[in-house]
């Protein structure tokens, strides 16, 4: 389950930025998780719970923000929502669209003191 | 001990060994973050009353979680390019025939070409021993709890292997089509292997892997007469996910189609003419 190593990377990123900002307390970590990022949100939540133990993020709220997948047709420029990376265009059936939203996997912000 | 999080506590970090070597035990901390897990479960929490006089502020950091791996992967890629090394990342479900493909390739092409192999597995040196037997230098990366190789492991393994200029580096990833898809190793090309004993719809079930691969090898074609596997259908599904994907059908067992594979990587190893 790669969500464990992803969770460890999130903890590393958030703690190193918190240190750089000389934070005493981390109240919240905001994490963007795209629908097409390859990460299962529930598995990530579960992994984060284990990963924060004994770190300065232990009591911080992990705010996972889900970002839906969006595709643009390479033939007719139609934009549509998709839950796969390959869903064909609903208007003209062309496959392999440009995915312009939903691949995010990013530590967006921290709320610290 | 840190049984729950697989976070690189002693005994959980990857080991990188040559056949015959034995692991050393040492302790470390995870990027300076010490994990101590002995918090009490007596139910008394310290932050229950709510007069919080803190002055919280929000810091936008916008950091890609895979950024560190991607950066290191690019460093590997630059190193491979500079040393004219063709690095291939071989991914598949367990049992599709990655190690068998490497063994036969080394036996048949090892006289003219120089191969170096990195074997990724959660446990055991078995595959590395098979490769050594076939006649190529190899290191085994045991990822323990980890389900994929990452760019850092490959970086360390490459140093240990002392890969020569102008050689072909084959990296057998941990057998699974989910996790390795997200981790760039710095490879020149990614090769996904499926065998005819698997479902034709593998590409639809594991689209990330098929979308990020350059070549799809369909192995065990010697078994086709005994199965209902529809090659055309499998290719169609894979192309639906990745229209640029190339295909080679072969049997490692009989050798049928192996020449196409050899031609493919020899072509890939030839630097583009300026
Ligand atoms: N019939 C047949 N069996 C094969 C072929 N290639 C590999 N195998 C068998 O498939 C099994 C798994 O192969 P292995 O190389 O260990 O797969 P890996 O897990 O992907 O490294 C072994 O029993 C191989 O002998 C093939 O072309 N035809
Ligand atoms: Mg193997
Ligand atoms: Zn369209």
H or E, element range at B98? helix B98-109
Closest CA in chain B for residue A56: B33
- The alpha helices in A23-99, defined as continuous H runs, are 41-51
pLDDT for the residue B146: 87
Average pLDDT over residues A47-69: 97
Average pLDDT over residues B80-105: 98
pLDDT for the residue B120: 97
Q: Taking CB atoms and an 8 Å cutoff, what residues of chain B touch A24? A: 54
pTM for the model stands at 0.88
Report how many domains make up chain A: 1
Are the CB atoms for B219 and B251 separated by under 8 Å? yes
Average pLDDT over residues B123-129: 96
Per-position DSSP letters for B201-264, written without gaps between them: THHHHSHHHHHT-SEEEEE-GGGGGGS---HHHHHHHHHHH-TT-EEEE--TTT-TTHHHHHHH
Question: What Cα–Cα distance (Å) separates residue B94 from each residue in B72, B91, B122, B195, B259?
Answer: 27, 9, 12, 10, 24
pLDDT tens track for A69-113: 999 999 999 999 999 999 999 999 999 999 999 999 999 999 999
pLDDT for the residue A29: 98
pLDDT for the residue B53: 78
- Quick check: A4 and B243 CB within 8 A? no
Q: Is the CB of B134 under 6 A from ligand 1?
A: no
Position B104 pLDDT exceeds 90: yes
**Residue to substitute in B97, B105, B192 for testing ligand 1 pocket (most ligand atoms within 8 angstroms of CB):** B97
Q: Is the CB of B99 under 6 A from ligand 1?
A: yes
pLDDT for the residue B51: 61
In angstroms, what separates the C-alpha of B57 from chain A's closest C-alpha? 5
CB-nearest to B147 from A1, A16, A85 is: A1
Average pLDDT over residues B166-193: 97
Which positions in chain A have a beta carbon within 8 angstroms of at least one beta carbon in chain B? 1-2, 4-13, 15-17, 21, 24-25, 27, 31, 38-39, 47, 50-51, 53-55, 59, 84-86, 88, 95-96, 105-113
Please report the ipTM that was assigned to this predicted complex. 0.93
Name the percent of chain A lying above pLDDT 70. Answer: 100
What is the CA(B176)–ligand 1 centre distance, in A? Answer: 15
CB-nearest to B65 from A1, A24, A107 is: A107
Ligand nearest to the CA of A94: 3
pLDDT for the residue B117: 98
Of the two residues B139 and B270, the one the predictor is more confident about is B139
Provide the mean pLDDT of chain B: 88
Instruction: CATH number of the domain at A58, please.
Output: 3.30.2320.80
- Quick check: A51 and B240 CB within 8 A? no
Position B38 pLDDT exceeds 70: no
Closest CA in chain B for residue A12: B31
Q: Is the CB of B96 under 6 A from ligand 1?
A: yes
Name B62's bridge partners.
Answer: none
Ligand nearest to the CA of B198: 1
Contacts of B186 (CB under 8 A, 6+ apart): B72, B73, B74, B75, B76, B77, B78, B79, B80, B87, B151, B154, B155
Of all atoms in ligand 1, which is nearest to the CA of residue B221?
A: 27
Would you place residue B252 in the very low, low, confident or very high pLDDT band (cuts 50, 70, 90)?
very high
Q: Is the CB of B175 under 6 A from ligand 1?
A: yes
Position B165 pLDDT exceeds 60: yes
pLDDT for the residue B24: 65
Domain assignment of residue A97, given as a range: 2-112
Contacts of B116 (CB under 8 A, 6+ apart): B136, B137, B138, B161, B163, B164, B167, B168, B169, B170
């Amino acid at each position: 389950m790669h969500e464990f190593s992803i969770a460890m990377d999130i903890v590393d990123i958030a703690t190193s930025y918190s240190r750089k900002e000389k934070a005493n307390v981390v109240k919240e970590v905001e994490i963007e998780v795209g629908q097409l990022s390859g990460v299962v949100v529930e598995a990530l939540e579960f992994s984060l719970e284990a990963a924060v133990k004994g770190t300065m993020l232990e009591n911080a709220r992990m705010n996972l923000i889900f970002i839906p997948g969006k595709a643009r047709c390479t033939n007719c420029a139609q934009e549509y929502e998709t839950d796969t990376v390959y869903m064909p265009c609903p208007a003209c059936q062309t496959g392999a669209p440009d995915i312009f939203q939903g691949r995010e996997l990013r530590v967006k912000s921290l709320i610290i003191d | 001990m840190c049984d729950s999080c697989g976070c690189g506590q002693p005994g959980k970090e990857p080991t990188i060994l040559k056949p015959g070597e034995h692991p050393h035990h040492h302790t470390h901390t995870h990027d300076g973050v010490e994990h101590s897990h002995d918090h009490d479960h007596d139910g008394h929490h310290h932050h229950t009353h709510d007069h919080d006089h803190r002055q919280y502020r929000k810091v936008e950091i916008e950091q890609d979680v895979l950024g560190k791996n991607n950066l290191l992967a690019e460093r590997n890629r630059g190193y491979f390019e500079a040393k004219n090394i063709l690095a291939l990342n071989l991914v598949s479900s367990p049992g599709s025939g990655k190690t068998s493909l490497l063994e036969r390739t080394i036996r048949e092409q090892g006289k003219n070409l120089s191969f170096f192999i990195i074997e990724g597995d959660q446990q055991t040196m078995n595959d590395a021993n098979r490769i050594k037997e076939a006649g190529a230098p190899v290191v085994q990366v045991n990822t323990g709890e980890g389900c994929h190789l990452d760019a850092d492991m490959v970086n360390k393994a490459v140093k240990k292997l002392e890969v020569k200029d102008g050689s072909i580096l084959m990296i057998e990833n941990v057998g699974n089509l989910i996790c390795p898809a997200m981790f760039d190793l710095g490879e020149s090309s990614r090769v996904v292997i499926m065998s005819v004993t698997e479902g034709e719809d593998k590409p639809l079930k594991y689209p990330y892997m098929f979308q990020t691969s350059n070549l799809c090898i369909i192995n065990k074609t010697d078994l086709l007469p005994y199965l209902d596997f529809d090659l055309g259908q499998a290719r169609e599904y894979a192309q639906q996910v990745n229209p640029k994907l190339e295909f080679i059908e072969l049997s490692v067992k009989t050798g049928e189609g192996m020449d196409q594979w050899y031609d493919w990587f020899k072509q890939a190893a030839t630097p583009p003419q300026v």
